[in-house]
Amino acid sequence: MKLTADIYVTATTVQLQALNSCFEAEKEAMQTPRSSVAIHSTKDTIHFAVTSKDSTALRATLNTITKLVTVFEKAVEEKNE
């Protein structure tokens, strides 16, 4: 079975550049025999296109993405306080 999921993150250009840099370090680790991620950036959006062979691999990859986005989001919130 082939599964796909798309995640879109919208933020300021500066925030997206920083977030994109964070994912550059993780991009290799997210490419596995069972799951892969393509990351596309525009001026105001990062698009994560996840493709997996099974639901467990899909969930693991989505967890990796959302955990890093959550940490980044909290860091931005603390900086702005």
**CATH number for the domain harbouring residue 12:** 3.30.310.50
pTM to 2 decimal places: 0.87
pLDDT tens-place string over residues 18-46:
999 888 888 888 899 999 999 999 989 99
For residue 42, the enclosing domain spans 3-80
pLDDT tens-place string over residues 46-62:
999 999 999 999 999 99
Least Cα distance to 65 among 38, 45, 34 occurs for 38
d(CA 2, CA 53): 5
Domains in the chain: how many in total?
1
